[in-house]
Structure formats: C-alpha cells, structure tokens
Structure 1
Amino acid sequence: MRITPNILINNLLNNLYKNTERMGKLQNQIASGKRLTKPSDDPGGVLRSLFLRTTLGELDQFEKNVDDSKSWLSVTQNALNELVSVFRQAKTIAIQGSNDPSSDVRSALSYQVGGLIETALNAGNTAYDGKYIFAGSKTQDLPFTSLVEGITYRGDRSKMTREVALSQTVITNLHGDEVFQPELYHQVVAGVRVSDITAPLNEVLPASAVGAGNFTINLAGVAPLVIGPIDPTVDSLTDLMNSINAAFAASNSPAEAEIVDNRLVITSTLQGTEGVMTITDGVAGGILTRLGIADNDGKILGENILPPAEKGVFDTLIDLRNALEGRALAENKLMGLSDGSQSVGLIPSDLITFTA
C-alpha cells in the first residue's frame, strides 16, 4: 500500500482532534469536579454512580431516622422520669398525711398533690417537634384533657415505627394507655408449677396419666380455637405453649401464651370485657385440669384469672388528694404508693429501662 502525504496529514489531524477532545473532557472534569457529565461518558459507570447515589441517599435518611428516634426516646425518658419523681413525692406526702391527722396539714398536702397531678398531666401532654409523644398516631391532638369527671385520654394505642436500616424498623413511642392507664388484660395462670418445662408432661404433672386430648379457647371475635391433640407422654409444657401460640398466630388472635416461673400463662391482649376468654378442657381430668387451670368439669378456675390493676396514674393521685381532703378512702391506699420506677405498679415493667 502506498502511503501518500495526504494520508499522513489526515492521520495527524485525526490524532490531534482526538487529543483535543480528550483534553476538553479532562478540562470539563476538572472544572465540574465530576468524572461523568453525561451517560455516554461511561454507561456502566453511570449506572454504578446512580446506584451509589441512591444508596447514599437511603443511608442519609436512615441516619436522620435514627437521630430523630433517639431524640424522641430521650424526650419520652425525660417525661417518664418526671412521673417517677411525681410518685416519689406522692409517697412522701402519703406518709405525712397518714401520720398527721391535722386538717391544716392535710389541706396543705392536698394542695401539693394537686400540683403533682398538674405535673403528671403536663408530662402526659409532652410534645417533641410539634407532636405529642404519648398520643399514639394522633400526634397533633392533645392526648390528655382535664374534665369534671377526671382526666381523659383522647389518643389511641397505635405504635409508631421508624426505618433505621433496609427492611428494619423500630418502635419509637409509648402510647398514653400503657403508661398512664391501668392494664385490663385478661390473663389466666396455671395453678401448677412444673419442675422441667422441657420434660414430657406426664413426668412432671400430678394425677394419673391421660392420653392425648384437645382443649378449646374462646376469644371475642375469633372462632373457637381447638388446641391439640396434646400427648402428655411426649409433649412438654414448652410444646404446649408453642401449640397455643401457633393457633393464635394462624387465626390472628389477640392473645399469647408464655411460661412464667415454670407456669403456663395465657393472656388476651384486648382490654376490658372484649378480652375475656374461656378455656374448656376436652376430656375429664385432661391437661388443663392437671395444670390447675380448669376444674374437674373442664371449666376455667376463677382464682386463676388475674384481676386488672386497680387504678391508673391520674386516678391514684386524685384518690390521694381526695383522701387528704377528708373524703372516704382506706388509709392503706395512702400507704400503697411505692417510691422508685415501678410506682404503684403503674409504669409497665418493660419501661423500667427508661426510668432506671
């Protein structure tokens, strides 16, 4: 092939053009601080860049969610600490009132309790970033209002969640009912404590052995749940608990079973009369009878139904004030206040970590 001067000149011009284009691209990168200014620069690199940008955006949002959750929980902890302080002061006032029957002293103490009620009300209406922390999902509405008949909760029982990592959420709130109101859950506790929750029931339960059998749990709004067959020669208390919870989960029942102090405990998570459950043993002298839950006729034993808490935070303080004002209230109610984070048992045990 013959190489003419024109071919050499064209090759030189082409190389100069490419170098000039490359220099321009580098100058644009230097000026903009970006390696990719348009998709055609590097299609694969652009896709990677977009993915990384999206990931960084998600991580930034997760970080904001974590910071917001920490701030929300910090405000919640401060409000709970305020309640602990209220009950410690109420404890002191109750002791003073029970030791000094003087009307003048009790009148002054009653006035102090009125201030504690106001402090507790303000704690219940604590807000963070314009949202009421104890209102459930009704964060724009004042959760507690003072009426003639007492203090009323107007929030709901919703749980608020924040996404803190991919497909990972945390609950960040406590609603007013679980902090300030009495628990009304219906709970059944076995009268018999077993020595080994993993051993076959026939080995750890009293009375004569029986064969495999069923029992039925009835909950409001849920079709009767038949549990079993439970074979006491093989199944342990843990197996029994798992069978009950499996039935609850399959039917979306508002209840749960657990083992506490080697006893079977079944709890309805609905409150009040809606949460009442009935349990019937399938055979005479069956598993429930041997666990001390049912009588010989298979009906639930009344003494195994735990009563609800008597009073909520506000009712307890109002009762104390009324007692100091001379209204009818047994003196042992005055002395029932305990100092510490579980004041009168009204702050749920799972909140102790906040108030310790």
Structure 2
Amino acid sequence: MGRVTNAMLSSNYLTNMNRNLRNMQVLQSQLASGKAINKPSDDPYKASRTMQLYTEIDSNKQFNENIKDISNWLDTTDTALNQAGNVFGRIRTLLMTAGNGAYGEDERKAIQDEVKEKVNELAQILNTNFDGAYIFGGTKSTSKPVTVDTDGKIKYADKGGNATTDATTINQIGSGLNVEVSEGVLIKYNKTAVDILQYKDKSGASQNVSDLLEAIEKNLDTPATTTTSFPGTPGQEMLTGTLLGQVDSVIQNLLQRRSEVGAMTNRMESAQSKNEDENLDMTDILSKTEDIDFTEKMMSYSMMQTVYMASLQTSAKILPTSLLDYIR
C-alpha cells in the first residue's frame, strides 16, 4: 500500500468538500424555485419531458381559445338563421293573407311591398358580420357574400359588392371553414349563403330562394298570370299552393341548417371539455415531474448542511497547516 501524503489528503478533502457544496447549492436552488429541474443538465430526460408537457398544455389552451371564438361565431350564425326563418315565416303569413279572394289590388300591392322589404332584410342577414368576417361568406369572408341588384333580386357579390355569376367567386362563398380543436382534429364550423339560397323542394329538386322570391312578387303583381320559375298555375292558387309549398321547403332547409349548427356547437363543447380534462391530467403529471416535495427537500438540505459542517470540522483536525501541529 502506497504512502498517503498530505497533498493526497488535501485533494480528497477538497473534492468531497466541493461535491457537498454543489449538492447544497442544488438543494438551495430547488427550494428557492420549488422545481426539481432548474436547468436541463439537472436531469435531461425530465427536462425534455417537462418541455413537452408545457408545449402540449399551451397547445390545448390555444385550441380552447379557438373553440371559444368559434362558439361565439356559431351563436351568431344560429341567431342569423333564426332571423332568416322569421323572414320566411312572415312571408308565409303574407302568402296566406294574399290568398284571400276578397283582397283587391291595393291590398296585394301592400303585401308585395312588404315582401320586397323582406328581400332586403334577408340580404342583410346573409351579410351578417362577426369580428370583421362575414359569417356566410365562406372563404370570401372579408367582403359581403350577397347584394340586391337593381331588379330587387338577391345575387352573389364579388369583392367590390357587385352582383356576379362568376363560378370561382360562388365556390369561395360556398366553401367550408375548418378549425383545429385538438391535435389533428379539424371541425367545419360555418354555414354559407349558398347553403341558405339553395334548397330542395318536396320532390327533391334543387331550387333557388332568389327565384322563389321573384316569383312571389310577380304573382302578387299579376295574380292571373303564371311564372317561368315554377310550373304554370293560376296566380292566386300559385300563391297559396305551389309557392307556399316552396316557402315551407325553405323554412325546412333553414331548420336543418340550424340543427347542423347545433350539432357543431355540441362538438365544440365536447372538444373543449376533452381539452380541459387533458390539461388537468397533464398539469398533474407536470407537477409530479418538476415540482419538489418541500418536506423531503428540507430534510435533505438539513442533512447536507450537517455533512458539510462535519467535513469542515474533520478537515481542520486531519489536515495540518504548520510545523506547530507536529510540535504539539
């Protein structure tokens, strides 16, 4: 066995002393921050896991912010669809009234004027704006989706607000919008002017609301004639028969759209609840990963202090500092 020199004793002492001091510093940092990991080198695996959990929690919070915004959008959509339903409910009442054989030209003209007002009201509803976006505009949400032309018909509108039949523009208006509500899960959340202006009658044939409203106005103006939009029937019978049936189909379409909006709202609420539950779970895991047990750490710190002080006292006895130690 080799000779143990004073230099070796000093070196070992300093090594152990510094290790004890570093351990105390780590414990002090943990107690001050309340975190087990204050830098990646403390525990690379836990540091990586912690950063991943923070990222996932932040993502879920953003998803729920998206859901909150879209829920407000859907509420606005439902309100607008309800208003559109009220418009056609009133038009239906007017058609029933106009079917009264005792009504003269003046009464029918008054009904026609109110129908024209309802056309403008419907256009305003279709141009409902939420937070700077037109909710029925599809991907063309920065400009109004419809306008009323000089003939009083509702038409799709270009970016300048002018009536257009451009297929690209109409496709944009009819396009769906999606939002990410959780990782990789997209939900369509909008209804479009196309969804409202296009409907199917009782036979399943596609019809257009604008054509229907024009036919109603024409039949109120000239009750004895027929229209080109729907099969030929005498005016009064047209109002209370064919056209009334078409209005019922429009109302049914609006109810269906409202039902779809309700289903979207339910999906949003379910996604929000799921995200909140996941965040609670991840926050719990995060706490277990990075938070310290204060009682345990205080005990460890007290023990480390004792070890450190003992090492100081021991070193003072076993490491001679001068020749006087040998003389004694």
| TM-score of the aligned structures, taking structure 2 as reference length | 0.61
- Is 1:19 the counterpart of 2:36 in the alignment? no
SS of alignment partner, residue 337 of structure 1: helix
Amino acid of the residue matched to residue 317 of structure 1?
A: L
Amino acid of the residue matched to residue 214 of structure 2?
A: I
Alignment match, 1:337: 244
SS of alignment partner, residue 140 of structure 1: coil
Report the Cα offset of residue 96 of structure 1: 1.2
11-20 or 132-141: which moved more? 11-20
Alignment match, 2:182: 165
Alignment match, 1:176: 193
Alignment match, 1:223: none
Alignment match, 2:209: 313
Gapped regions of structure 1 (runs ≥ 5): 185-305
Task: Give the 5 Å matches for 1:1-356.
Answer: 10-99=11-100, 100-149=102-151, 150-154=153-157, 155-156=170-171, 157-182=174-199, 308-310=205-207, 312-326=208-222, 328-329=225-226, 330-335=235-240, 336-337=243-244, 342-343=249-250, 346-347=253-254, 349=256, 351-354=258-261
Amino acid of the residue matched to residue 166 of structure 1?
A: E
Larger RCO (CA under 8 A, 6+ residues apart): 2
Report the Cα offset of residue 317 of structure 1: 2.8
Report the Cα offset of residue 308 of structure 1: 3.0
Is the CA contact 1:160–1:171 (under 8 Å) kept in the aligned structure 2? yes
Q: CA RMSD in A?
A: 3.2
Q: Alignment length, in residue pairs?
A: 234
Identity %: 29
Q: How many Å separate the matches in 2 of 1:316 and 1:172? A: 28
Is the CA contact 1:88–1:338 (under 8 Å) kept in the aligned structure 2? no
Is the CA contact 2:179–2:187 (under 8 Å) kept in the aligned structure 1? yes
| TM-score of the aligned structures, taking structure 1 as reference length | 0.56
SS of alignment partner, residue 186 of structure 2: strand
Report the Cα offset of residue 86 of structure 1: 0.9
Gapped regions of structure 2 (runs ≥ 5): 158-169, 227-234, 264-328
Q: How many Å separate the matches in 2 of 1:36 and 1:19? A: 19
Q: How many Å separate the matches in 2 of 1:69 and 1:78? A: 14
Bigger share in helix = 2
Amino acid of the residue matched to residue 250 of structure 2?
A: S
SS of alignment partner, residue 152 of structure 1: strand
Is the CA contact 2:120–2:148 (under 8 Å) kept in the aligned structure 1? no
Q: Which has the larger radius of gyration?
A: 2
Report the Cα offset of residue 37 of structure 1: 2.9
